Structure 1
Amino acid sequence: MAEGTKDSGNGSRDKSPDEAALSARLGSLDHRLSAIRDGRKIGTDPSGNEQDAAQAKASAMAVGLRLSSELVAGVLVGAALGWGFDRLLSTSPWGLIVFLLLGFVAGVINVMRAAGVMAKQSERL
């Protein structure tokens, strides 16, 4: 029994430097992992400049969609009116041609008007 007790005493002395080394390695690993997590958190969180750029891009896309819809709506309304007048007055292609061109002109004017208003708003900012 004395030998068993003596071995366990020596064993605990042998484990204590190993445990200290293990604790040091675990502490080092924890420190490195926390540094990596912080780096990922900073990398994924957009800063103020990146958020502003994303908002500007989304705003520009919204403006482009609005301007294109203004033009398409003008052309479609002109075509519909021309087709309607052709049906009522039996002037087969002429009403469609004339009102299609008028719709295109109206669409371009609406786009220029909307772009001019938006340019004035951006100057105020």
Structure 2
Amino acid sequence: MTDDREEGLEKRRAQLGAELATKRVEAGKEEAVEASAEASRKGYAEAMKLSSEFISAIVVGAVLGYLLDRFVGTAPWGMIVLLLLGFCAGVLNVLRAAGKVAKPDPGERQNGGK
């Protein structure tokens, strides 16, 4: 009777071990899928950040140009010049955020670029 009970317990332990191994494999697959999804979300977040920086620089340039034209009376020239400056600032911001252009070092400004 004791042998039957021990055999049953051993059989149950082996069955639970197999189920546990299966669950561990499934959990590993789920972690890999989650890591892939996390990388994708980070990519989307970076794209949204870069696009919003670019668009906001252009909009700010256009608004400042419009206001300059409105109050100074320089017809379309203020808008054209500041819109182009906004575009250039937007491109520079995107390149800096993407790591393609180095950010200016504050120490170089104080030392006169030495």
TM-score range, shorter chain: 0.5 to 0.7
Which amino acid in 1 is paired with 2:50?
L
Q: Hey, what does 2:38 align to over in structure 1?
A: 55
Unaligned runs of 5+ in 1: 1-37, 118-125
2:71 matches 1:74:
no
Higher helix share: 1
Give the deviation of 1:97 after TM superposition. Answer: 0.4
In the alignment, the residues of structure 1 paired with residue 54 and residue 29 of structure 2 have an alpha-carbon distance, to the nearest angstrom, of 35
Q: Hey, what does 1:87 align to over in structure 2?
A: 70
Deviations 1:9-46 (A, max 9, x none): xxxxxxxxxxxxxxxxxxxxxxxxxxxxx99xx59x96
Give the deviation of 1:47 after TM superposition. Answer: 1.5
Deviations 1:84-104 (A, max 9, x none): 100011111100000000000
Counterpart secondary structure, 1:53: helix
Q: TM-score, normalised by structure 2?
A: 0.62
In the alignment, the residues of structure 2 paired with residue 87 and residue 46 of structure 1 have an alpha-carbon distance, to the nearest angstrom, of 61
In the alignment, the residues of structure 1 paired with residue 70 and residue 32 of structure 2 have an alpha-carbon distance, to the nearest angstrom, of 57
- Number of equivalenced pairs: 78
Q: Which runs of 4+ in 1 moved over 2 A?
A: none
In the alignment, the residues of structure 2 paired with residue 102 and residue 108 of structure 1 have an alpha-carbon distance, to the nearest angstrom, of 10
Match of 1:107 among 84, 87, 90: 90
Q: Hey, what does 1:116 align to over in structure 2?
A: 99
Deviations 1:26-77 (A, max 9, x none): xxxxxxxxxxxx99xx59x961111110000000000000000000000000
Q: TM-score, normalised by structure 1?
A: 0.57
Identity of aligned residues (%): 44
Aligned-residue Cα RMSD (Å) equals 2.3
Higher Rg of the two aligned structures: 1
